[in-house]
């Protein structure tokens, strides 16, 4: 069918409108009437009150008064860049997604972010970093909305407001801004011990990256890929930075927070503008799609678990180069809207309960943040694939839709097709069997293991990384006012490793408790360490 047409904006046509750089031979109102004076309001005499009839005054002030939109409820502070993704063709056996074909180039927009701080907070705080990528593919937009850490604090999306309330600044004084140095954060992670794995990643050097250019990215959840024959595999997505993974020291992070709160943002833009275009390889860990949805005994639906790369190597499937900085921060970095439901044929979801909840949350928040249901029409969010949807009207509708009422099948609309049967090109949901089971508010038993992989992470660290982790726990817990919370977190550390627990306890001047659970026997994963690690060459 014919794609729906939209009136191009001035920016697209090059017409001399306000969308086009706000330049021209004369100044106008937003309606195009020429202005003589924009520095004086219309008054009843030079010493008199301003007149209500001064439309230019009211338009200028009203528009200014409404310039701010709500910042993101999480990941408010971010920096974006444009680039290009090139497929290697190596994923063709496992997915029919066209953008992964050999040599296929797809434009991308990436937004890196911190999670907890507000829009104006410092870049180098200890926090998780967002790594969200929008692929403008020929088959529709695919968003890979990941983080720089492969696990998440919680196993069920219903707890997301709780962890964020615990980690955001306290409601009375609104401090601390963006660090995990407060009572409610440690209260949450010591009461919800599933959070201990993500927490140790935050306390490691991964929590203070040197640069966005030196971060790994992770899709976290397990996805289901579908090939042309309908065969499926389960995968986890990884971004591997060409520059390797590097962190700041804690002292550097602290100093930079004061000296240059824009450190990561500046680093990204300066590098791109100097021609040092950052690169990542996209890779997948591939697992058979079995009814158990496990691999090597690891539950693939549990977002607090990784699969060590030694057990399932990351196979490169394409590369991304960031080569252009945004023209306008608001129009691109601020208005971009990512969503895990933005999938393309060949990539499908799984039943990970965190993934499932996220599928609801993003569009819901964007309805408020971006002022209604038409934000996919904003330039940064517009698909590059043709759009022929049946949506209409709503706040900030930019399209002038022609034709009769949008419904299908429709005998009056000139043969606009009903989409049934286009299985070759359409997104087809994998007909996964949904177990016949009672409705419950419960997790699978495998989700109860909260410690074995935290221990795996700890034992995989080099001596210097262990030292940094000990110091980070000691510093952050040292900021807690409540001794009971420090003691509860020490009990969690005891279940991870006695040395870690003893060192932090000494630093806090508290006794080290005994473990309450047997310590798991784990084989360290050297790939988790940032030290002594080999990276693919050019
Ligand atoms: C925003 C990642 C879990 C709700 C973001 C962003 C990233 C991200 C990267 C910033 C997007 C941007 O740059 O605009 C993740 C990851 C998660 C996770 C990797 C776990 C694996 C969740 C959960 C929820 C949630 C469980 C809710 C149930 C949100 C919301 C936003 C957001 C509401 C703001 C979106 C906006 O205003 O446009 N997340 N998130 N996230 N996330 Fe998550």
In our burial notation (b when 16+ CB lie closer than 10 A, e otherwise), range 380-402 reads: bbebeeebeeeeeeeeeeebebe
| The predicted structure's pLDDT at residue 16 | 41
Mutational test site, ligand 1, from 74, 305, 381, max ligand atoms within 8 Å of CB? 74
pLDDT in tens, the chain (538 residues): 334 444 444 344 333 444 556 889 999 999 999 999 999 999 999 999 999 999 999 999 999 999 999 999 999 999 999 999 999 999 999 999 999 999 999 999 999 999 999 999 999 999 999 999 999 999 999 999 999 999 999 999 999 999 999 999 888 888 887 666 689 999 999 999 999 999 999 999 999 999 999 999 999 999 999 999 999 999 999 999 999 999 999 999 999 999 999 999 999 999 999 999 999 999 999 999 999 999 999 999 999 999 999 999 999 999 999 999 999 999 999 999 999 999 999 999 999 999 999 999 999 999 999 999 999 999 999 999 999 899 999 999 999 998 899 888 888 988 777 766 567 788 989 999 988 899 999 999 999 999 999 999 999 999 999 999 999 999 999 999 999 999 999 999 999 999 999 999 999 999 999 999 999 999 999 999 998 665 554 3
Our CA dihedral for 180, 181, 185, 189, rounded to 10 degrees, sits at 80
The beta-strand segments (E) located in 328-387 are: 347-348
- Beta-sheet pairing, 140-147 with 315-324: unpaired
Helices 250-259 and 463-478 cross at an angle (nearest 10°) of 50
| The predicted structure's pLDDT at residue 257 | 95
**Which among 500, 522, 510, 451 is positioned nearest to 203, based on CA atoms?**
500
Give the distance from CA 237 to its chain's centroid. 13
Known catalytic residues?
A: 75, 147
Mutational test site, ligand 1, from 78, 159, 201, 361, max ligand atoms within 8 Å of CB? 361
> How far does the centroid of ligand 1 lie from the alpha carbon of residue 74, in Å?
7
Q: Under a CB-based contact definition with an 8 Å cutoff, are residues 461 and 204 in contact?
A: yes
> How far does the centroid of ligand 1 lie from the alpha carbon of residue 194, in Å?
19
How many CA atoms lie less than 13 Å away from 37 in the CB half-sphere? 6
| The predicted structure's pLDDT at residue 421 | 58
Residue 490, judged by CB atoms within 10 A of its CB (0-12, 13-18, 19+), counts as: buried
| The predicted structure's pLDDT at residue 15 | 38
Question: Is residue 134 within a helix (H) or strand (E), and if so which, with residue range?
Answer: strand 129-137
Extract the tokens encoding 443.
């997790």
**Which among 29, 9, 2, 55 is positioned nearest to 415, based on CA atoms?**
2
For ligand 1, whether the C-beta of 492 sits within 6 Å is no
Extract the tokens encoding 488.
């509860």
For ligand 1, whether the C-beta of 358 sits within 6 Å is yes
Angle at 152 between CA 364 and CA 90, to 5 degrees: 90
Instruction: Give pTM, 2 decimals.
Output: 0.94
For ligand 1, whether the C-beta of 160 sits within 6 Å is yes
Q: Under a CB-based contact definition with an 8 Å cutoff, are residues 102 and 88 in contact?
A: yes
Extract the tokens encoding 444.
């699978």
> How far does the centroid of ligand 1 lie from the alpha carbon of residue 145, in Å?
7
Intra-chain end-to-end CA distance of the chain, in Å: 43
Q: Under a CB-based contact definition with an 8 Å cutoff, are residues 93 and 349 in contact?
A: no
ipTM over 0.90: yes
Rounded CA-CA distance 80/323 in Å is 11
Rounded CA-CA distance 149/163 in Å is 16
Atom of ligand 1 nearest to the CA of 221: 21
CA distances from 440 to 1, 437, 448, 489, 505 (A): 44, 9, 16, 30, 40
CA distances from 318 to 31, 88, 223 (A): 47, 5, 17
For ligand 1, whether the C-beta of 354 sits within 6 Å is yes
For ligand 1, whether the C-beta of 365 sits within 6 Å is yes
> How far does the centroid of ligand 1 lie from the alpha carbon of residue 378, in Å?
20
Question: Is residue 364 within a helix (H) or strand (E), and if so which, with residue range?
Answer: helix 353-369
Rounded CA-CA distance 124/121 in Å is 9
């Amino acid at each position: 069918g014919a794609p729906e047409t939209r009136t191009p904006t001035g920016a697209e046509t090059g017409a001399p409108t306000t969308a086009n750089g706000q330049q021209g031979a004369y100044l106008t109102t937003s309606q195009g009437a020429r202005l003589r004076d924009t520095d004086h309001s219309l008054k009843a005499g030079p010493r008199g009150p301003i007149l209500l009839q001064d439309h230019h005054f009211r338009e200028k002030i009203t528009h200014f008064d409404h310039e701010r939109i709500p910042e993101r409820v999480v990941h408010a502070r971010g920096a974006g860049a444009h680039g290009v993704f090139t497929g290697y063709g190596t994923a063709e056996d496992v997915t029919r997604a066209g953008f992964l074909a050999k040599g296929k180039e797809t434009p991308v927009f990436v937004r890196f972010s911190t999670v907890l701080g507000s829009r104006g907070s410092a870049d180098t705080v200890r926090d998780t970093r967002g790594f969200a990528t929008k692929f403008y593919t020929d088959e529709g937009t695919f968003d890979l909305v990941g983080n720089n850490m492969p696990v998440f604090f919680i196993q069920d999306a219903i707890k997301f407001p709780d962890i964020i309330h615990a980690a955001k600044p306290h409601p009375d004084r609104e401090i601390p801004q963006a660090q995990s140095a407060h009572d409610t954060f440690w209260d949450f992670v010591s009461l919800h011990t599933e959070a201990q794995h993500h927490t140790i990643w935050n306390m490691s050097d991964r929590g203070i990256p040197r640069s966005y250019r030196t971060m790994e990215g992770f899709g976290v959840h397990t996805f289901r890929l579908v090939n042309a024959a309908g065969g499926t595999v389960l995968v986890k997505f990884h971004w591997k930075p060409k520059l390797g993974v590097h962190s700041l020291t804690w002292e550097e992070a602290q100093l930079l927070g004061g000296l240059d709160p824009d450190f990561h943002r500046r680093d990204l833009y300066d590098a791109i503008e100097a021609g040092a275009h950052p690169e990542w390889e996209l890779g997948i860990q591939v697992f058979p799609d079995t009814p158990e949805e496990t691999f090597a005994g690891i539950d693939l639906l549990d977002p607090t678990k990784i699969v060590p790369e030694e057990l399932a190597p990351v196979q490169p499937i394409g590369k991304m180069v960031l080569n252009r900085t945004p023209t306008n921060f608001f129009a691109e970095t601020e208005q971009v809207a990512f969503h895990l439901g933005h999938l393309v044929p060949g990539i499908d979801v799984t039943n990970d309960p965190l993934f499932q909840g996220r599928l609801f949350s993003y569009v819901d928040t964007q309805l408020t943040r971006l002022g209604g249901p038409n934000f996919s029409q904003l330039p940064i969010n517009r698909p590059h694939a043709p759009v022929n949807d049946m949506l209409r009207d709503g706040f900030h509708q930019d399209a002038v839709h022609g034709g009769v009422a949008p419904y299908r099948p429709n005998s009056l609309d000139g043969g606009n097709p009903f989409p049934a049967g286009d299985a070759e090109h359409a997104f087809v949901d994998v007909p996964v069997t949904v177990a016949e089971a009672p409705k419950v508010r419960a997790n699978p038993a495998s989700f109860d293991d909260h410690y074995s992989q935290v221990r795996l992470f700890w034992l995989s660290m080099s001596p210097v990384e262990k030292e940094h982790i000990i110091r980070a726990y000691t510093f952050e817990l040292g900021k807690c006012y409540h001794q009971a919370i420090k003691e509860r977190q020490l009990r969690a550390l005891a279940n991870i490793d006695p040395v870690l627990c003893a060192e932090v306890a000494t630093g806090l001047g508290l006794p080290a408790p005994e473990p309450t659970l047997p310590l798991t026997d784990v084989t360290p994963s050297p790939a988790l360490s940032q030290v002594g690690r080999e990276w693919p060459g050019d």
